[in-house]
Amino acid sequence: MLAYQTFGDTSAPPVLIAHGLYGSGRNWGVIAKRLSDTRHVVTVDMRNHGSSFHDATNGYDDLAGDLAEVIAALGGPMDVVGHSMGGKAAMMLALTAPQAVRRLVVGDIAPVTYTHSQMQMIEAMRAVDLSAVTRRSDATAQLADLGVDPGVCAFLAQSLDVEARTWRLNLDALAAEMPKIMSFPTVETQYEGSALFLSGGASDYVLHEHRDVIRGLFPRARFARLPKAGHWLHADDPRGFEATVRAFLDAPGA
């Protein structure tokens, strides 16, 4: 089963957070702690990430099954928040196991195939000379020298086990499964529950033309945008992200 952390009173309404590609549950610690004042928050490490198991597959059927297993182990349906790759996994969970999802929040991703690739990040991480790394900043500096954006350098470096001098990412599996990660499975069902698609005003991941595809799978979808945020909603505008998610999850009959 996936590794996970919990925050808040276990008797409070539960919400599970699924991170994006190359991330981990620890990226969501600040948001999780803030939401835990009124909720029992669960942050997972997706397969091939963080402290979770490594596997040769990383398709959305697999990721959705992993989330369903955690939810079942912790006692039943939850609100589910997913960002980027985690957002696609959360969508797949809602479509294939709707009984596990009370309300759904999808952060800056659509159920479509994207033409850009994230292979350049894998190539950069592979190029880091881990034998020369004694501090996380050493890896950050090497990534910067390789042309990685400074903000992304810090994000990637969070997935480095400095003591073991190894990445907490299954880079080989993620590289092999990249076509699946960038796409979305064909699904014939719909999720009839409440769903919020929250995008960044400075991001081009969720376009207006995606809305018909989204509504075809999620007929009760609502749309909101954080004007000051890019793709990394929770990092670019954490207060705005938190407030929007709270309002949606707490609304009666959403």
Per-residue pLDDT of the chain (254 residues; tens, 9 = 90+): 999 999 999 999 999 999 999 999 999 999 999 999 999 999 999 999 999 999 999 999 999 999 999 999 999 899 999 999 999 999 999 999 999 999 999 999 999 999 988 999 999 999 999 999 999 999 999 999 999 999 899 999 999 999 999 999 999 999 999 999 999 999 999 999 999 999 999 999 999 999 999 999 999 999 999 999 999 999 999 999 999 999 999 998 75
In terms of pTM, does the model score above 0.85? Answer: yes
Phi, psi for residue 215 in degrees, rounded to 5: -65, -30
Look up residue 42 and give its DSSP letter.
E
- How far is it, in rounded angstroms, from Cα 247 to Cα 249? 6
pLDDT tens profile 83-126: 999 999 999 999 999 999 999 999 999 999 999 889 999 999 99
Q: Does residue 231 carry a catalytic annotation?
A: yes
pLDDT at 204: 95
Query: How far apart, in Å, are the Cα atoms of 156 and each of 31, 58, 103?
Result: 19, 19, 30
pLDDT at 116: 84
Q: Does residue 172 carry a catalytic annotation?
A: yes
CB distance 139 to 133 below 8 Å: yes
Catalytic residue among 84, 159, 194, 199: 84
pLDDT at 254: 56
Locus of tokens 């000379």: 129
Alpha carbons within 13 angstroms on the beta-carbon side of residue 208 total: 0
Catalytic residue among 19, 40, 83, 231: 231
Locus of tokens 């597959």: 57
Locus of tokens 């669960």: 42
Catalytic residue among 37, 161, 172, 250: 172
Instruction: Tokens for 194, please give them.
Output: 């409440």
CB distance 30 to 158 below 8 Å: no
How does strand 40-44 pair with strand 14-18?
A: parallel
Instruction: Tokens for 114, please give them.
Output: 């994207």
Q: Does residue 54 carry a catalytic annotation?
A: no
Task: Tell me how crowded residue 182 is: count the other CB atoms within 10 A of its CB.
Answer: 18
